[in-house]
Amino acid sequence: MLDCQRVALVTDFGLASPYLGQIHLLLAAGLPALTVIDLISDLPPFRPDLAAYLLPGLVRDVPSSTLFLTVVDPGVGGDCQAVVIEADGNLFLGPDNGLLAMIARRARQCQVWRLDWRPARLSATFHGRDLFAPAAIALLRREPLSLSPLTTADLAGSAWPAELPRIVYQDAYGNLMLGMRAEEIGSTALFTLAGSSLSWARTFSAVPEGQAFWYENAFGLVEIAVNQGSAAQSLGLKVGDRVTLGAA
C-alpha cells in the first residue's frame, strides 16, 4: 500500500461543525507527525452523485502521496460498503456510494479494495469518526486491515455518465461548477439555462461587468459565472440544476 505524507479531509459536514473537530483529534492522536488538511467541507449535502464529478478536479493539481478521507454518506449505517482506492499516487478512503467512482474511472493506474475491517465500537451514524478515521490511521501506520480486492466495475457509480450536465457545486461568489470537463466540451459550446444562452470566455475581464458566461476553471471544469456578480442569484440557479449543452 502507498506511503502517504498527509491526510486531506473531503466532506459535506459544513464549515462549522463538531464532526470535523472530532476527526482532527483522532488523526492528531494517531498520526501526530502527519499534516491534516480540510480540503473541502461544504460539498453538497447528501449528494455523492454530484461530489463524484467535482473530486477529480479538486485533486488534479495538488501534491500526490495524499490520503483523501472522503465522507458524503447519506446512507450511513445502512448496507453501503467502505472502499480503499489507490489511484495515480494517492489513496482514497470512503463509502462505496458513487462518491469515488470518477476517481477510479479516470485514473491511469488504479487498485480497489473493499474495507472489511470494522472497529470494536462503531456508532450507527458517524462512520467518518468511528470507521474511516481509524482505518486511515491503520493504513498509514501499515497496520493489518482486512481488505478484499475489487475491480473498478464493482464500485457503485461505475456506470454513471462520463460527464454530468448539472451544477455540482456553488462557491462563495455564487459561481456554479458543472460536472463536465471543459476540455471535453470545447470553447464553441453554448449552455442554455434559466432562459439564457451562455458562451465561453477565457476569464472574467473578457466580458462586461454583470455579464454571465462560462469558462474553464482552475479544476478543469466548466464553471458558470457573472463578472463581479453572482451567477446563482442572477440566473436563479442552485446545486443539482440541469443545464443544456449546445454548439455555436
Query: Could you tell me the maximum CA-CA distance found in the chain, to the nearest angstrom?
Result: 60
DSSP codes, the chain: ----SEEEEEESS-SS-HHHHHHHHHHHHH-TTSEEEEEES-PPTT-HHHHHHHHHHHHHTS-SSEEEEEE--TTTTSS--EEEEEETTEEEEEESSSTTHHHHHH-SSEEEEEE----SS--SS-HIIIIIHHHHHHHHHT----EEEE-GGGSTTTTS-SSEEEEEEE-TT--EEEEEEHHHH-TTEEEEETTEEE-B-SSGGGS-TT-EEEEE-TTSEEEEEETTB-HHHHHT--TT-B-EEEE-
Q: Give domain limits for the chain.
A: 6-154, 164-247
Query: Domain 6-154 belongs to what architecture?
Result: 3-Layer(aba) Sandwich (3.40)
Question: Which pTM value belongs to this model?
Answer: 0.96
pLDDT digits (tens, 9 = 90+) for 85-97: 999 999 999 999 9
Q: What is the pLDDT of residues 114-146, one digit of tens each?
A: 999 999 999 999 999 999 999 999 999 999 999
Q: How far apart are CA 217 and CA 173, in angstroms?
A: 14
pLDDT of 45? 96
Supply the mean pLDDT for the chain: 96
Q: With 80 as the cut, is the pLDDT of residue 82 above it?
A: yes
Equal CATH topology for 6-154 and 164-247: no
Superfamily covering domain 164-247: Bacterial fluorinating enzyme like (2.40.30.90)
